[in-house]
Amino acid sequence: MSNRKPYVREMKRTWWKDHPFYRMYMVREATVLPLIFFTLCLTFGLGSLVVGEAAWEGWLSFMANPVVVAINIVALAGSLYHAQTFFSMMPQVMPIRIGGKKVDKKIIVLAQWAAVAVISAVILFLV
């Protein structure tokens, strides 16, 4: 047997900062943090709705805090960024063919955004 040590390539903690693709990937993954906060806020809101009117009013005042509003705006931006990256990958992952021809990628992405707009409008109309 040899007494040689195996080569171990050095990996810095900031390896992802050197390439724009990995930077954007890390930014996308980091947007989950405000989304978690938003989800927890909604969960506690439902819980306070069940508890009673005083708890509900307390939750409403918490949600009106400017810091909470700012975090929720960041969460919305992160959610839209996730949707944009998912929609742009969709034609590559699942190409759609109509009559033996591939549908243009832009049409697929625009159709997804149109579906989001229609569903959002229906929900806004119902609420």
The 10 Å Cβ neighbour count of residue 62 is 13
Query: At residue 69, what is the residue type?
Result: V
Q: Structure tokens of 29?
A: 């993954």
25-75 per-position pLDDT tens digit: 888 888 888 889 999 999 999 999 999 999 999 999 999 999 999 999 999
Sign of torsion over alpha carbons 59, 60, 62, 63: positive
Summarize pLDDT for 63-122 with one digit per residue, the tens.
999 999 999 999 999 999 988 988 998 888 888 888 889 999 999 999 999 999 999 999
Pairing of strands 101-102, 97-98: antiparallel
